[in-house]
């Protein structure tokens, strides 16, 4: 027999529905308006339905090289993802045991979560400008030296200040609940530390690594504030998209927004699919091992 809903259910349900509409309404609006007809504008009502503005986007918007910016953001996102996963795992392993200064190091590592993004960006830019002044003052960079700031230097550092704290917090939680009996059993069977990590620890934490990778890519893909002052070179796609809002006056910019959102959802879907595959594989392996002991 089903339990009767309380009087507060419907008001709370309506409130939650309005919250979801407020949260995703702008994205849905951009999605719908990106399919305006050739004579359509930036607002409702729609003047026909077509994929005309995606074709305009494919040909290039003329103001900036959108596809070059897309490639820069994608490559940067991949590098950030790999570094976030590797450093987070190493940090999680290091913090399994207490050591002198571990508490201070922990709070220092996650401090960027509460610092204003623009302050972090300006700080990174200032560090690289000081470094550039030092190199130029002593002639270390040669006559062609311009700046050390770039996509895979200052911008990469800015993105890691945003993605690493999330990845580290996930791995700290994972290793805090990790049963060390698995490692002890592997060592008792003669496994080396690397073999223990490769064949025991890594398969167990693999689904969580997929989650860390998802954090790394999606946070990097959409980042604007921390990149704005620290990139020092050609812009990433979010920065170009922000600039286009003041120059492009047709739904092609909505088509670009729909494309970037689709990439985000595609990455999420692939990540979730990989996580489910790894989990199913681990459960199948555990089931086979259990049958083998009977």
Task: For residue 36, list its beta bridge partners.
Answer: 49
Q: What pLDDT is stored for residue 272 in this prediction?
A: 80
**Overall average pLDDT of the 2-17 stretch:** 83
| C-alpha to C-alpha distance for 33 and 249, rounded to whole angstroms | 13
| C-alpha to C-alpha distance for 284 and 278, rounded to whole angstroms | 10
The tokens for 181 are 């009996």
Is the CB of residue 206 less than 8 Å from the CB of residue 153?
A: no
Is the CB of residue 76 less than 8 Å from the CB of residue 156?
A: yes
Question: Degrees (nearest 5) of the Cα angle 27, 231, 171?
Answer: 70
Q: What pLDDT is stored for residue 63 in this prediction?
A: 63
Average pLDDT of every residue of the chain: 86
Q: Is 146 exposed, middle or buried (0-12, 13-18, 19+ CB in 10 A)?
A: exposed
User: Who's near 207: CB < 8 A, 6+ residues apart?
Assistant: 275, 278, 279, 282
Query: Who wins on pLDDT, 281 or 217?
Result: 217
Nearest alpha-carbon partner for 57 in 254, 261, 252: 252
Q: What pLDDT is stored for residue 247 in this prediction?
A: 74
Q: What pLDDT is stored for residue 287 in this prediction?
A: 64
**Residue 64 clears pLDDT 80, i.e. is over it:** no
Q: What pLDDT is stored for residue 89 in this prediction?
A: 95
> How much is the pTM?
0.82
| C-alpha to C-alpha distance for 249 and 74, rounded to whole angstroms | 26
Q: Could you read off the pLDDT of 82-93 as tens digits, one per residue?
A: 999 999 999 999
| C-alpha to C-alpha distance for 174 and 208, rounded to whole angstroms | 8
**Overall average pLDDT of the 57-71 stretch:** 78
pLDDT category at 285 given cuts 50, 70, 90 is low
Greatest Cα pair distance, the chain, in angstroms, is: 82
**Overall average pLDDT of the 151-161 stretch:** 92
């Amino acid at each position: 027999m089903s339990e009767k809903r309380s009087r507060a259910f419907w008001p709370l349900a309506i409130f939650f529905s309005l919250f979801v509409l407020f949260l995703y309404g702008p994205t849905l609006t951009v999605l719908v308006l990106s399919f305006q007809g050739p004579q359509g504008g930036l607002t409702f009502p729609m003047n026909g339905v077509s994929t005309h503005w995606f074709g305009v986007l494919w040909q290039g918007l003329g103001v900036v090289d959108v596809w070059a910016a897309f490639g820069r953001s994608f490559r940067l996102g991949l590098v950030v993802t790999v570094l976030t996963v590797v450093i987070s795992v190493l940090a999680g392993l290091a913090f399994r045991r207490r050591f002198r200064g571990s508490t201070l190091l922990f709070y220092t590592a996650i401090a960027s979560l509460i610092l204003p993004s623009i302050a972090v960006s300006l700080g990174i830019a200032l560090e690289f400008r000081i470094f550039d002044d030092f190199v130029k003052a002593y002639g270390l960079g040669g006559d062609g030296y311009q700046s050390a700031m770039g996509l895979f230097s200052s911008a990469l550092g800015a993105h890691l200040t945003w993605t690493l704290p999330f990845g580290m917090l996930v791995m700290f939680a994972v290793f805090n609940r990790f049963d060390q009996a698995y490692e002890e059993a592997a060592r008792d069977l003669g496994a080396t530390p690397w073999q223990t990590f490769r064949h025991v620890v890594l398969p167990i934490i693999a689904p969580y690594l997929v989650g860390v990778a998802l954090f790394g890519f999606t946070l990097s893909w959409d980042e604007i504030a921390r990149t704005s002052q620290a990139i020092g070179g050609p812009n990433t796609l979010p920065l170009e998209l922000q600039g286009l809002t003041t120059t492009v006056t047709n739904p092609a910019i909505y088509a670009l927004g729909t494309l970037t959102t689709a990439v985000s959802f595609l990455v999420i879907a692939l990540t979730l699919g990989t996580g489910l595959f790894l989990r199913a594989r681990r459960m199948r392996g555990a089931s086979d091992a259990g049958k083998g002991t009977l």
